[in-house]
Amino acid sequence: MKKTGGAFSGTPKGFAKRGCRRAFPDCWNLKSRETRNKTAPRKGKVMQMESEVLRLEHIMQKYQAPNGEITAIQDVSFSVKEGEFVSLVGPSGCGKSTLLSIVAGLIPATSGELTLYRHPVCGNSPEIGYMLQKDNLLDWRSIYKNVTLGLELRGMMTQENIDYVLELLNTYGLYEFKDKYPSQLSGGMRQRAALIRTLAIRPKLLLLDEAFSALDYQTRLAVTDDVYRILKNEHKTALIVTHDIPESISMSDRVVVLSNRPSTVRRIVPITFGLEDRTPLKCREQPEFSRYFNEIWKELDVHV
Ligand code: ADP
Ligand code: MG
How big is the CA angle at 218 (ends 213 and 222), to the nearest 5 degrees?
85
Whether the bond between 12 and the residue before it is cis, its omega within 30 degrees of 0, is no
Alpha helix locations (H) across 148-266?
Answer: 149-153, 159-171, 187-199, 217-233, 245-251
Ligand of minimum distance to the alpha carbon of 76: 1
Give tens-digit pLDDT for 175-193.
999 999 999 998 889 989 9
What are the tens digits of pLDDT across the range 240-294?
A: 999 899 999 999 999 999 999 999 999 999 999 989 899 999 999 999 999 999 9
Given this model, what pLDDT does residue 303 score? 62
Does the pLDDT of residue 79 top 70, yes or no? yes
The whole-number pLDDT of residue 259 equals 94
Q: What band does 161 get if pLDDT is binned at 50, 70 and 90?
A: very high
| C-alpha of residue 130 to centroid of ligand 2, in Å | 13
What atom of ligand 1 comes closest to residue 92's alpha carbon?
A: 4
CA distance 276 to 291: 20
The residue whose C-alpha atom lies closest to atom 1 belonging to ligand 1 is 93
Q: Indicate the domain borders of the chain.
A: 65-127+204-304, 139-202
- The pLDDT of residue 142 is 97
Q: Mean pLDDT over residues 76-104, rounded?
A: 95
CA proximity to 5, closest of 178, 162, 152: 178
pLDDT band per the 50, 70, 90 thresholds, residue 65: confident
Count the neighbouring beta carbons within 10 Å of the beta carbon of residue 65.
9
Average pLDDT estimate for 137-145 = 96
- Judge contact between 88 and 300, C-beta under 8 A: no
State residue 215's pLDDT score.
Answer: 81
pTM for this one? 0.83
Atom in ligand 1 nearest the alpha carbon of residue 241:
2
Report the DSSP pairing between strands 263-270 and 68-81.
Answer: parallel
Using CA atoms, how far apart are residues 30 and 173, in angstroms rounded to an integer? 10
- How close is the Cα of 100 to the center of ligand 2, in Å? 9
Ligand 1 neighbours, Cβ below 6 Å, are 63, 65, 70, 72, 90, 92-98, 261
pLDDT at 297: 94
Average the pLDDT over each of 23-32, 45-54, 153-162, 200-209 and give the range with the smallest value: 23-32
Q: Residue 144 in contact with residue 5, Cβ under 8 Å? A: yes
pLDDT (tens digit per residue) in 7-20: 333 333 334 333 33
| pLDDT tens digit sequence for 198-252 | 999 999 999 999 988 878 888 889 889 988 998 999 899 999 999 899 999 999 9
- Residues with CB under 5 Å of ion ligand 2 are 97
Q: What is the pLDDT of residue 15?
A: 40
Residue 75 half-sphere exposure, CB side, CA atoms within 13 Å? 3
- pLDDT the model gives residue 243: 87
CB atoms within 10 A of CB 193: 25
Q: Do 212 and 134 touch, CB atoms closer than 8 A?
A: no
The correct CATH number of 65-127+204-304 out of 3.30.70.1450, 3.40.50.300, 3.40.50.2300, 2.40.30.10 is 3.40.50.300
Ligand 1, atom 22: closest residue by C-alpha: 63
CA 245 to chain centre: 17
Q: Which tens digits make up the pLDDT trace of 104-133?
A: 988 999 999 999 998 888 777 889 998 887
73 sits in which H/E element: strand 68-81
